[in-house]
């Protein structure tokens, strides 16, 4: 089945970048549906929908923009001509997994779509059991599985902000529940992803995604546990050396597990696990929370009564997303312990930083006024050769939450501590 037009539900990073890839690499038209009218307006104006620059994404060309339309009216997606629907809506809300947006889209399609047959691909991260919920909604409204409705799944695994692992530069796992769905997904994805891996079905494809995230979550939590347990060792260096082994990835200890995807991986897996096994995932979450608290307490040991500058609110470099950012937890933890706490992030305005963190914002030109600097996010501006700017006339402490300044030479008045390094705890 040759696809020339798709509907994409959700105009966030996942949905919009997918539309861009379809336009630029496959000449496929996209209609983006999003409840945010500002996003819809920007796309209609031929611009990106985010309202802020995205470092890894250039402005769309005129030719590209002509292939991408947007609407805030779900009914615009229900015509017979729109038979292929890609679901890219958020499945986390306030740091917890949520199927609400998925169910809302599926219910809209089941109740109103006039396309027969209908092809639905879930690109959002979901628990495998949620696929059953999708079928239940359609079948309750008379749709016949494998006849009127074809379902597939292929959660995104590229890394926003990392050009080397951007969309189209990583392999893609997909699964369809019918031969027609599999053929359609191959046709859609083939021009964009150089390497496709076919799962048995939609559920298995989704389990692949949450297991990938779960393995990373477990490894990061273990790295934090080792760092907290072996306080006399430079555990960050131990893990770096361990990663020289051919089958050992590199994980640095940090101030918690960051982001809106990895920290909730255990919840997606637990949602579809056997009831007797779910206590394990609860225990893992409790371990993460306890280790995060220990790390925050260690930071407070070096910052109490001092003027603290926190570099970075976003949870990942060059990405304006702060959901479950450790910087938020750190600000809350230090506000009552330090003499002052200030935050900088090049992606956020001063008003945004103050409103989100409860701390004052500051300009990088004023960094030398602080006697403690905490590097949280590896934004490019923080990794420039002239950074960090410190006052060489007094004692200054630097706390590095990822070892990004580990190899720098600092003046003798600077005490450098990497999270998970020797004597950090």
- Give, for all 425 residues of the chain, the pLDDT tens digit: 688 999 999 999 999 999 999 999 999 999 999 999 999 999 999 999 987 777 778 888 888 999 999 999 999 999 999 999 999 999 998 888 999 999 999 999 999 999 999 999 999 999 999 999 999 999 999 999 999 999 999 999 888 877 778 787 899 999 999 999 999 999 999 999 989 999 999 999 999 999 999 999 999 999 999 999 999 899 999 999 999 999 999 988 999 998 888 889 999 999 988 888 888 888 889 999 999 999 999 999 889 999 999 999 999 998 899 988 999 999 999 988 999 999 999 999 999 999 999 999 999 999 999 999 999 999 999 999 889 989 889 999 999 999 999 999 999 999 999 999 998 99
| Predicted TM-score of the model (pTM) | 0.92
**Domain 5-200 maps to which CATH number in 1.20.1270.10, 1.10.260.40, 3.40.640.10, 3.40.50.720?**
3.40.50.720
CB atoms within 10 A of CB 368: 17
Shortest CA distance to 264 belongs to which of 86, 90, 9, 401? 90
Domain limits of the chain?
A: 5-200, 210-285
User: How far apart, in whole angstroms, are the C-alpha atoms of residue 90 and residue 126?
Assistant: 10
């Amino acid at each position: 089945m040759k696809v020339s037009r798709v509907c994409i539900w959700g105009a966030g990073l996942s949905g919009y970048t997918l539309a861009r890839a379809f336009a630029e690499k496959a000449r496929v038209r996209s209609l983006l549906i999003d409840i945010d009218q500002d996003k819809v307006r920007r796309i209609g104006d031929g611009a990106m929908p985010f309202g802020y620059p995205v470092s890894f994404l250039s402005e769309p060309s005129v030719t590209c923009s002509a292939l991408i339309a947007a609407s805030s009216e779900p009914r615009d997606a229900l015509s017979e001509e729109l038979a292929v629907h890609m679901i890219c809506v958020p499945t986390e809300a306030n740091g917890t997994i949520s199927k609400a947006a998925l169910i809302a889209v599926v219910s809209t399609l089941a109740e109103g779509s006039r396309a027969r047959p209908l092809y639905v691909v879930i690109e959002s991260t979901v628990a495998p059991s949620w696929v059953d919920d999708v079928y239940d909604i359609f079948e309750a409204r008379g749709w016949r599985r494998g006849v009127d409705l074809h379902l597939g799944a292929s959660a995104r695994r590229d890394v926003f902000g990392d050009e080397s692992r951007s969309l189209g530069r990583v392999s893609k796992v997909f699964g369809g529940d019918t031969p027609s769905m599999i053929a359609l997904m191959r046709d859609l994805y083939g021009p964009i992803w150089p390497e496709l891996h076919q799962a048995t079905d939609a559920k298995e494809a989704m389990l692949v995604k949450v297991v990938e995230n779960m393995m990373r979550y477990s490894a990061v939590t273990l790295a934090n546990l080792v760092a907290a347990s072996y306080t006399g060792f430079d555990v960050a260096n131990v893990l770096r050396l361990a990663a020289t082994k051919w089958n050992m990835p590199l994980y640095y200890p940090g101030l918690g597990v960051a982001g809106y995807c990895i920290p909730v991986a255990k919840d997606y897996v637990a949602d579809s696990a056997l009831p007797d096994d779910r206590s394990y995932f609860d225990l893992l979450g409790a371990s993460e929370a306890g280790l995060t608290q220990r790390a925050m307490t260690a930071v407070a040991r070096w910052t109490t009564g001092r003027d603290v500058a926190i570099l970075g609110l976003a949870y990942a470099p060059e990405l304006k997303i702060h959901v479950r950012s450790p910087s938020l937890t750190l600000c809350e933890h230090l506000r009552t312990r330090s003499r002052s706490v200030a935050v900088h992030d090049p992606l956020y305005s001063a008003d945004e930083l103050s409103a989100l963190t409860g701390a004052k914002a500051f300009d990088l030109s004023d960094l030398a006024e602080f006697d403690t600097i905490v590097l949280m996010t590896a934004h490019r501006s923080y990794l420039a050769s002239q950074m960090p700017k410190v006052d060489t006339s007094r004692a200054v402490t630097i706390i590095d939450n990822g070892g990004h300044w580990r190899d720098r030479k600092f003046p003798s008045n600077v005490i450098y501590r990497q999270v998970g390094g020797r004597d950090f705890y």
